[in-house]
Every structure is written in C-alpha cells, then in structure tokens.
Amino acid sequence: MTTYIFKRLAVLIPVLLGMTIIVFSIIHAIPGDPADTILGEKATEQSKQALRDQLGLDKPWLQQYFSYLGELLTGDLGNSIRTRAPISEEIVPYLAATFELTMASMLFAVFFGVNAGIISAWRHNSWFDYICMLIALLGVSMPVFWLGLMEQWIFANELHWLPSSGRMNARDPMEAVTGFYVFDAIIQGQFAQLWTVCKHLVLPAIALGTIPMAVIARMTRSSMLEVMQLDYVRTARAKGLSQFAVVYRHALKNSFIPVLTVIGIQTGALLGGAVLTETIFAWPGVGRYIFEAISNRDYPVIQSGILIVAVIFVLINLLVDLLYVVFDPRIQYK
Amino acid sequence: MRKRMGWLFTLMLSLALILAACGGGGSGTSEPEASTKPGEAASTEPAADPAAGGSGGTLIVGRGGDSAALDPAIVTDGESLKIAQQVFDPLLAYKAGTTEVEPALAESWEISDDGLTYTFKLREGVKFHDGTDFNADAVVFNFTRWNDTESKFKFEGDSFDYYDSMFGPEEARVIKSVTASDPSTVVFVLNQPQAPFLQNLAMPPFSIASPAAIEKSGADFKANPVGTGPFVFKEWKRSDSITLEKNPEYWQEGLPKVDSVIVRSIPDNTARFNALQNGEIDMMEDLSPDDLATLESNPDLQKFNRPPFNVAYLGFNVTKKPFDDPKVRIALSHAVDKQGIVDAFFAGQAEPAKNPIPPSLWGYNDTIEDYPYDLAQAKKLLADAGYANGIEQPLTFYAMPVSRPYMPDGRKVAEVIQASFAEIGVTVNIESPEWATYLDDLSKGEKDDLFIIGWTGDNGDPDNFFYPLLDKDSIGGNNYSQYASDPLHEVLVKAQQETDQAERTKLYEEAQVIVHDDAPWVPLVHSTPLLAASKKVEGYVPSPTGSEPYAEISIRQ
C-alpha cells in the first residue's frame, strides 16, 4: 500500500509539471504586451516597466519558466498585482472558506443522494422511485444561480428563517482562529456562534450540493439495481435477513465503488471553487478569489489559483483511489 | 443486530443534524430577523453619548467588490478609496454631494500671486488613531513618501499612481518642495502653476497617514491603515468584510454618529438587494435598475441617486472624411435619440448629456442648447453639407466590447444609433475588437470613423475632462476624436494657469460653447448610479466622486 502511494505520488510529478506549463503559458497567451493589458488605460510607462520587471517579462521564455518553477518549489506563488500581497498567504482564508462550504455541501449531497438512490433501487418503479428520479433530473438541470436566488427569496426574504449571505452575522463577529468557522466556534466554546455559522451554511450548501446530490442519487440507484440482481443478495435474503440489512449492509458495500468515484470527482470540483454559489451568497471562497482576479486581470493570482485548485483535484482523486480498498477488499494495490 | 442499530443510529444522527441546521423557524430564534435590526449593535460597547450627537448603532454597507489595499496612496480603484474616506482625512475635502473643496485637515490657505506658493494653516490638536500628533511634519512625511522615488517608505510593489498622474510623473513633478515652517504651517512650492491644485489635494488618495504607523508596519501598512478619519480600522476579512469603529476623538464635533461601520462585499446585485430586504445590511451600492420597482413598493426602503460624474459620448474621428466637416457632425448630432437610450439601457437612471462635463461639476454651462433629436432636420443639414443622398460608403463604428460605469452595453446603444443613422441614409458597420486593442485603435485613430467611449472624473475639476479628452496636446492619448482646436487650446491653457475660481468658471463655460459649435462629439449620457438603504438610515448624501465619509450618517432607532 505504501509503495503504491509513493508510486502514485511519483506519477503526479509529470502531471504537475504539465500543469505548471499550462498555467505558465496563460500570461503568454495575452495578445500584445501583457503589461498593457494588465494595467489598463490610465497606466504610466513607469508602472508598466515595474510590472514587466516584477513578472520578468523581459527575459527569455525558457528562463522565465524555470525561474517560475524555482519559485514554486520554494513555496513562492508570487504577489497579487491588485492587492500587492503574497498569494501564498492571501489564499489561505479563501481555501478554508471553500473547504468548509464543500464539506457542508457534500454532507448534504451524500446523505440525501445515497439514501434516495438506495431507496429508489429498493422500491424500484414505485412512486418514491419516480419522484426521486424526477427530483434528481431537476437537480441536475437546475441553474445554480437561479436556485440560489430562489432560496434567498423564500427562506431569507419571505420566511426570515435563514440569512441570505456571508459566513457569519456581521453584527456579531467571532475571532477566526483556523478559518473554519464551525471548528472555530467549537474550540472557543461559543455555541450560539456555532448555531449562527451553521445557519449561514445551509442555503449555500443546498445550492451547491444539489447537483452532486442528483448525480450521486442516480449513480447509487443504477449501481444498486445491478447489485440487487446478484446471487449473493438473493442468498442473503434467503438467509432470512431483514430487507434493511440486505440493502444497507450487503448490497450497498458492493455498489459503492462507482458512487465513491462520483463523490470524489464532485468534491474535487466543488473544492475548485464554485464561482456562482460563492458570488450569490457572498461566500469569500477560492472560486471568487480566482474569478475576481480574472475580472481584474490579476494574472499571478489566476495562475497560482488554478494551479492550487488543480493540485487539490488530483490529490482528492488519489484519496478516492485509496478509499476503494476500504469498500472492496478485493482491490489491492501493490 | 448490533451493527444494524449502528446504521440506524448514524442515519438518525445525521438526519437530526440536518434538521437542526434547516430549522430555526419554529423555535423562534430566527437570527437574521431578530438580531439584525439596523441600529442594534451586537457589540458590548456602550452606546454613544447622546449629548455628543451620535445615534449609535452599527451601519452595515453592502458593496460589489472588496478593497484592493487600504493604503489610499497606492490604490486607484474606487472600492479601496471608499474605505480610505472613513479612516483618513486629506488636507481638503469635497463638500457633501458636490465637488467643491472645503477645509479638512487644513483650516485655511493662502496662494501667492504667481500661483506657485501655497501656505496651509493646519488644524491643531488632531491626533492619528495610534495616538501620535497630526502636524506639519506628518504632511511633509507623506508628500515626501509619494514624491521621492527612492523613499524607503515606498514598499515593494508600491506605486503612487494617483500622485504621478495628478502631480506629474518623476520627470515632470508639479510639486517642487513641501516644508514645515512651524508645527501647524506647511508650505508647498510648485514648479509651475497648477489651477486644479486644491481640487487635487482633496482627492482621497492624498489622505494623510500616520508616519509612526508607516514606520512601524512597513509594507503591512496597506492592511493596517492608521489615519485621522472618523472611523478607526479594526479588521479586514478579505472578500468578506471590513470592520471600522468610531473614532471617539474625531476633530469634527459630534461626528461620527454611528458606533461602528461594517462594509461587506456581496458581489451579485440581486443577492445584495436580497440582503438589504432581509435586514442583513442597512445600505447598498449599485442597485440594478431592474430592482427599482421592488424597492419602491417596499415602505421600509429608500433610494438614492449618486450625482453624475461621468460622460459617455459618441466621438467622430475628425481627421477622416466626412467627419472633417463640422456640418456633417452637427447633422448627425440631430440623429441620436439620447432620451430613448437613457430609457432603454439605463432604466432612466441617467441624464441625457449636452456638454462634455456632468452638471454636478462647477463650470457646467447650462445655457448650451442641445441639438434636438430630429431626423428631418438631420437629413436637411446633411444635404446642406453636400450629402443629399446620405453616405453610402459604410463607416466603421467602434462600439465598446465591455461594460463600463458610464455605458452598460455599448454594442446595443451602437445598434440604436446605427438604426437612426440608416433612416437618414448613413450606413455604419459596428465593430467591437477586444478592449485593449479597442483603446489602442482609438488612440491611433486609423481604423475607426466614429466610436463610443466615456470618461469618469478624478478630481472634480473641469480640466480633468477637457484637457485629456479634447485638447490638441492629448492627441495620441485620450483625445480619441483627434480633435485639434486652437481656440479651445488657448482657453484651456489659460484656465490651467488661472487661480481665480470665478475667472476659471467663465473660461470653461466658453470652452463648452466652442465644443458645442464644433461638435467633435455627440455627448450621450451622464449616468447616475442607484443606491438603496433602509428608511432608518438618515443623513446620507452620496458624492459624485463615487465615495464619501459615513460620518454624518445616523440610524434611527
């Protein structure tokens, strides 16, 4: 297993190198002088030259790439042009915010998705099955933007149950220790704050989790349907086990591999930042960080942001591969 | 059996958790409603002393973007300057709702007859938020930091862009020296007279920062600003919120009125409006015109229009045929339906323009009579100019590929103008190259025959519109019409050297007559951005410059 992990990590090296090349090329894909494009209409020649120096744009292409790579290896992601702050420091709270939202969304998506899928398969062709699959279809096709605004309108403006934006009640701030507000509230023993933080998570988590939920539900259902036909399930039933035990203990485990793959891919995608959800709910996550960098032509942030998100995506996939073993002991990595 | 119970337990637990998270409605603890009533400060600080004139409470403002940095000298974006206005004071300030200058940290000033020496008497007893004294040395420190390219307080990555553009780049500085003649007197000596000098000093980028804080924080000053302003900086959560607290020792008696201000970034316009309706914020920037009807039907909300500070215009490339002939330009001026454009694309939140400067600027000439929208007249004038059959050779019409504050959708506006022109027999082809190329092409003036573009003011001086946009010296820069008029140049240069305000006003009024008669542009609109607030918010006067101190705002309990 350990050897396998090392092997997989070694395979990551060419993948990461490939990504650095793509990310590095972004700035060179700008037509004309990047300094012109980045700084815009009112920039002086001096500030343009300063930017060229900062980004090393005057040097040969290869030299630029290798010094970029060298900086990356020392953990230097460069400085943001807009805020002039080091990206490696600046991005941390954004990653924490996105991570928290992703966890909440996936909790929602996995719980409802898996259970809906299981029950749909269990009660195949029943009204529950039809309704679940209709909801799943709607879920996949519903624009997040619309869903988010509808949620705000109903649950915040009309019913006043939940806050419509942000991570925390702005009037009642809490000290951020780790940047994961749920965790922060717990370690500081502030349970009223914990309640507020959870309430702020609900609407964005549902908006963000709806598509993964629908995908997971469909995947679970079809995978379960297949497994439920197998002999060993029939044997389990013949043994006199309750339906619940058959479905949740015997069938689920074997049908979970494809579901796990889907969960992994969806988690990776959400961690990459959900621009729309984060925009609507004013969630200060990494999707907005990159999106705002794009609108401000802040190329170093775009480059580093994409790189980090890509690395996270690759790592999540690795994690999913390793989790297969847990669910299917027949899979062994050597 | 045991295992089965385990599953059930897990299931129920997660269900309970989710229900707990979703609930709240029934249990009567609906937090956004209960604890976010505007004016109800959740902090444990004592409410402001009513005798001091404060209303207390927390003001929460929602806006579309976050600040880039909090050191006003190094930024150029409006969002950053909004915070600067709260934490800092410049020597002079703009009077609420206008661009007229009034004393701020400087109490009074004298100008020498040659317009080269400005002597400022500073307000005494003012302290920075870190407890150090504001005095003439502090002013000298700040200006030296911006002026001296080798300054050790110009930190890595810093550039003082506004200083360079308003007071000249390194090789052509306007300010020769800044000296403290005594602790409350500071003397500026200029290399050449600069008429908008006072106007420039009132811009928020030239706010006075605490020298002690800059020395202490170094490059981190841009995240830990210390000034003399009405509010003290407390916390910045990036892309989320900036928290400011009342400066109890503010030099303006009785101000600020609220105990704290929180400025939140909520990027989506509709979501921001939702947050306002739900009481999560008290005031918001940039209401979309589509939401105006909802706002007006809600008795708890009110709207504000920011006075216009910009101009969008249709420019003619006057070096090219047929636009080298003013008669043609005037004829086409009659063929643009400005009111129609305002109604269709600005939802009424703009005014038709007749001059290159907005009416909120001093020097605006209201006696100018605009060329009315009249296609018959346009056709007749075109025939008089020798184009009785219209202009068949298609002209290249550049329409902006991006949305700007003064022009939300350049292409659609161009299509409306195209249709009107077609009716009088003038054919135009709309082109929208990529934005950087667009600006480059307009500067060169080779490819375009006519174009849409605009300008947003910087310092509230008419020179800031006329000189960069219409003077012959600015050809190759922002004078995209390539318009070279000697009479105008004479007036503008004279106005730049004049220090008497009344005299300058007259000169700019004259400049507007020249531009109107020559018609290098069809001024289209001045947009007036919409803001919204809870009815509890009182005393808010939006400034045309795009940001203003929140010191005068109070919240009715």
Across the interface, which of B4, B77, B169 has its CB nearest the CB of A245? B4
Q: Is the pLDDT of residue B66 over 60?
A: yes
CB of A58 within 8 Å of any CB in chain B? no
Q: Are B262 and B58 in contact (CB under 8 A)?
A: yes
Residue of A nearest to B165 (CA): A44
Which residue type is seen at A178?
T
From the CA of A1, how many Å to the nearest CA of chain B? 28
pLDDT for A43 = 63
Q: Is the pLDDT of residue B22 over 80?
A: no
CB of A165 within 8 Å of any CB in chain B? yes
Across the interface, which of A83, A85, A163 has its CB nearest the CB of B280? A163
CB of A86 within 8 Å of any CB in chain B? no
Across the interface, which of A152, A159, A292 has its CB nearest the CB of B274? A152
Count CB-CB contacts under 10 A for residue B549.
26
ipTM of the complex: 0.82
Across the interface, which of B14, B68, B161 has its CB nearest the CB of A44? B161
Residue B1's pLDDT band, with cuts at 50, 70 and 90, is very low
Contacts of A104 (CB under 8 A, 6+ apart): A201, A204, A205, A209
Q: Are B349 and B306 in contact (CB under 8 A)?
A: no
Q: Using DSSP, state whether B401 is helix, strand or coil.
A: coil
- Cβ of A159 within 8 Å of Cβ of B25? The answer is yes
Across the interface, which of A36, A161, A164 has its CB nearest the CB of B436? A36
Q: For the segment B374-390, what is each residue's pLDDT rounded down to a tens digit?
A: 999 999 999 999 998 88
Residue of A nearest to B468 (CA): A42
Q: For the segment B418-439, what is each residue's pLDDT rounded down to a tens digit?
A: 999 999 999 999 999 877 788 8
Residue B31's pLDDT band, with cuts at 50, 70 and 90, is very low
pTM: 0.80
**What is the side-by-side strand order in the sheet with B117-122?**
B106-111, B117-122, B185-190, B175-182
Percent of chain A surpassing pLDDT 90: 16
CB of A261 within 8 Å of any CB in chain B? no
CB of A173 within 8 Å of any CB in chain B? yes
From the CA of B361, how many Å to the nearest CA of chain A? 22
pLDDT for B54 = 52
pLDDT for A318 = 85
Residue with tokens 């444990």: B44
Residue of A nearest to B25 (CA): A161
From the CA of A7, how many Å to the nearest CA of chain B? 36
CB of A191 within 8 Å of any CB in chain B? no
Q: Is the pLDDT of residue A36 over 80?
A: no
Q: Which residues of A touch B63 (CB under 8 A)?
A: none
Q: Is the pLDDT of residue B38 over 60?
A: no
Count CB-CB contacts under 10 A for residue B9.
10
Residue B98's pLDDT band, with cuts at 50, 70 and 90, is confident
Among A37-51, A129-143, A163-177, B12-26, the minimum mean pLDDT is found in B12-26
Q: For the segment A73-112, what is each residue's pLDDT rounded down to a tens digit?
A: 888 888 888 888 889 888 999 999 999 999 999 999 999 9
Across the interface, which of B7, B22, B440 has its CB nearest the CB of A248? B7
pLDDT for B50 = 42
Provide the mean pLDDT of chain A: 85
Report how far Cα B410 is from the mean position of its chain's Cα atoms: 20
From the CA of A63, how many Å to the nearest CA of chain B? 22
CB of A158 within 8 Å of any CB in chain B? no
CB of A292 within 8 Å of any CB in chain B? yes
Which residues are paired to B245 by β-bridges?
Answer: B232, B260
From the CA of B265, how many Å to the nearest CA of chain A? 7
Q: Is the pLDDT of residue B485 over 90?
A: yes
CB of A42 within 8 Å of any CB in chain B? yes
Contacts of A285 (CB under 8 A, 6+ apart): A94, A97, A98, A101, A273, A274, A278
From the CA of A140, how many Å to the nearest CA of chain B? 22
Portion 112-141 of A in contact with B at CB < 8 A: 115
Burial B70-104 (b: 16+ CB within 10 A, else e): bbbbbbbebbbbbbbbbbbbbbbbbebebbebebb
Q: Is the pLDDT of residue A129 over 80?
A: yes
CB of A289 within 8 Å of any CB in chain B? yes
Using CA atoms, how far apart are residues B45 and B522, in angstroms rounded to an integer? 55
* Rounded mean pLDDT, A301-310: 88
* Rounded mean pLDDT, A255-284: 86
DSSP-assigned states of every residue in A292-328: HHHHTT-HHHHHHHHHHHHHHHHHHHHHHHHHHHHH-
Residue with tokens 């939920």: A213
Provide the mean pLDDT of chain B: 86
* Rounded mean pLDDT, B299-326: 93
Q: Is B39 exposed, middle or buried (0-12, 13-18, 19+ CB in 10 A)?
A: buried
Residue of A nearest to B36 (CA): A171
